[in-house]
Structure formats: C-alpha cells, structure tokens
C-alpha cells in the first residue's frame, strides 16, 4: 500500500489489511508512522491493530508477556511475621539508646545509688539520685537521633515517619525505661536523714526538661539541645550547692527541695511542660529533616 493510499484513509480508519501488514512488519515506514499517529487518537483503530497483533505470529508471545505481568502485579499473599521478629523490629525502632551503652549507664546509676545508700549508710544517695535523674533521659534522647548515633539515620530520615513521629517514639522508649527504673531505685533507698523531696518528685521536672530539649532541638538540633538543657540543669543544681557553707547532702537536698517540693514548684514545671509541648506541635515541620538533628 502506498503512502498516498494510506493518506486516503488516515483521516478515517485503518483497514484490516493495513493493520495486519503493520503487525507483520511489512508496511512501509512512512505508513507505519501514520498508523501509529492515527491510533493515538482513534480507539477503534487501536483495538483493530491490537486484535491483529494477537491473531498474528506474535500472539502467543504477547499472551505470555501479559500473563507474566499480571502475575507480578497481583497482590501478594499476606506474610506472617513471627512474634520474635516483630519484637525485634519494635526493639530496633525505639532507637539506639536502648541498644547501647546508655542502657548500661542507666542501670549503673540506679544500682549505684542503692549500693551507696546501703553500703556506706550515707544520706547523700537520695539527693544525688534526684539530681542525676533528670539528666539520664536527656542523655538517652541525645544518643537516639542523628548520624552521630544511628547507623540507619539517613534511611530513617527519608521515610514519611522519619520526622517528629520518630523523634517522639524514640523519646517515649527512653522515658518508658528510665522513669520507672530511677523512681523504683529512689523508693528502695532508706528514708531521708533530713529535709528533701520524695523519690518521685523529679518525674514532672524530668519530663519538662526532656520536652524542653525536644523543643530546642527544632532550632539547634537534638544533640546540641540536650547538651544545653543538661548543662543548664547541672549548673542550676551545682552552683547554689557549692556556694552554701553546709554539708553536701544537706545542701543538695535543700536545693532540690526548692526546685521540686510544693504545689508552686510542680505547677511551674507543669506549665513549662505544656508550653514546650505546644511549641513542638506548632513547629512540627521543623523535625522533618533528621539530618539536621
């Protein structure tokens, strides 16, 4: 068939004979271009050419290819994940803190306070534990995020849940382990030998300091934020204690009482906690890129 003949039907439809010659590869190249251009806009001719292809020598091959493609895109059967594997994935998702030296340090602080109290009979164990307790979750958060701690940091940061959600999940993992353990260690200590806050008085301040670090992390990064907040807390405890001319346990207990004891102190920590949580919620998009954390 000449190009002139093809041009005669191009404005209408592709005849069966031309479709068969196109499929067999014997149609002149200019006519092939015309057929291909025509079937882009004509559904009936596209069906005619497709039918000619299935009826020709390439039909069985096309059928096999179609069956293989359908087999690939078919929804896979649900895979049952063993309980141990699910537990392993959960353990990995909570972050590096619960798989590294921080967890050992947590147990060392708790056990060391109990050993100091019962081994030496010193009354300093309780105040020291309360002073260190808010720093322990901060250290856990610091080693849970960023390329300095997480070998899968770049992969985690590229996922849809790699921002604030991952930050909160790993923080909750740190808090879920450290808060009960340190509080239980405080309850195991003998009664105080003088004034001082109770063993659970640090919980609300500890939560507030952790959220303060997360809120600050949206500006300067998680590692710098936890270091800044931790240094601020250490200075707030150590500087007044060092300048008071009395015994260390008594001075430390009195200073911690100012920070922890009483409705006014706890209400202030609660207000700080709410303010930090609100700031985190408002600036949640700042946590979408963990490579800066």
Instruction: Report DSSP letters for the chain, one per residue.
Output: --HHHHHHHHTS---HHHHHHHHHT-S-HHHHHHHHHHHTT-HHHHHHHHHHHHHSTTHHHHHHHHHHHHHHHSPPPPPPPPHHHHHHHHHHHT-GGGGSHHHHHHHHHHHHHHHHHHHH--TTHHHHHHHHTTHHHHHHHHTTSSTTT-TTHHHHHTSTTTTHHHHHHHHHHHHHHHHHHHHHHHHHSPPPSSS---TTTTHHHHHHHHHHHHHHHHHH-HHHHHHHHHHHHHHHHHHHHHTS-S-HHHHHHHHHHHHHSSHHHHHHHHHHHHHHHHHHHHTGGGGS-GGG-
Mean per-residue pLDDT over the chain, rounded? 79
pLDDT at 287: 79
Q: Which of these ranges, 168-182, 212-226, 235-249, has the smallest mean pLDDT?
A: 235-249
pLDDT band at 268 (very low <50, low <70, confident <90, very high): very high
pLDDT band at 20 (very low <50, low <70, confident <90, very high): confident
Residue 277 CB-density burial (10 A; 0-12 exposed, 13-18 middle, 19+ buried): middle
Say which residue, 98 or 236, is predicted with more confidence.
Answer: 236
pLDDT band at 292 (very low <50, low <70, confident <90, very high): very low
Q: How far apart are CA 145 and CA 169, in angstroms?
A: 11
pLDDT at 65: 72
Say which residue, 205 or 80, is predicted with more confidence.
Answer: 205
pTM, to two decimals: 0.64
Residues 185-231 have pLDDT tens digits of 988 887 654 456 788 889 999 999 999 999 998 888 888 999 999 99
């Amino acid at each position: 068939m000449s190009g002139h003949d093809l041009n005669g039907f191009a404005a209408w439809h592709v005849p069966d004979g031309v479709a068969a010659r196109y499929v067999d590869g014997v149609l002149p190249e200019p006519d092939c271009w015309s057929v291909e251009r025509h079937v882009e806009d004509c559904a009936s001719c596209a069906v005619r050419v497709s039918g000619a292809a299935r009826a020709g020598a390439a039909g069985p091959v096309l059928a096999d290819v179609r069956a293989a493609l359908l087999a690939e895109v078919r929804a896979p059967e649900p895979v049952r994940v063993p309980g141990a594997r699910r537990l392993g994935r959960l353990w990995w998702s909570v972050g590096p803190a619960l798989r590294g030296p921080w967890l050992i340090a947590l147990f060392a602080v708790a056990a060391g306070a109990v050993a100091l109290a019962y081994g030496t009979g010193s009354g300093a164990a309780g105040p020291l534990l309360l002073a260190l307790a808010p720093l322990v979750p901060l250290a856990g958060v610091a080693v849970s995020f960023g390329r300095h701690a997480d070998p899968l940091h770049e992969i985690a940061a590229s996922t849809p849940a790699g921002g604030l959600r991952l930050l909160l999940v790993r923080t909750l993992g740190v808090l879920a382990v450290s808060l009960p353990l340190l509080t239980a260690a405080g309850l195991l200590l003998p009664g105080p030998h003088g004034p001082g806050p109770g063993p659970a008085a640090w919980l609300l301040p500890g939560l507030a300091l952790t959220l303060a670090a997360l809120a600050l992390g949206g500006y300067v990064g998680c590692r710098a934020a936890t270091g800044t907040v931790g240094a601020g807390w250490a200075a707030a405890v150590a500087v007044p204690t060092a300048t008071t001319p009395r015994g260390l346990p008594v001075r430390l207990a009195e200073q911690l009482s100012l920070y922890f004891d009483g409705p006014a102190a706890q209400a202030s920590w609660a207000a700080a906690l709410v303010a930090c949580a609100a700031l985190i919620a408002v600036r949640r998009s700042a946590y979408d890129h963990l490579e800066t954390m």
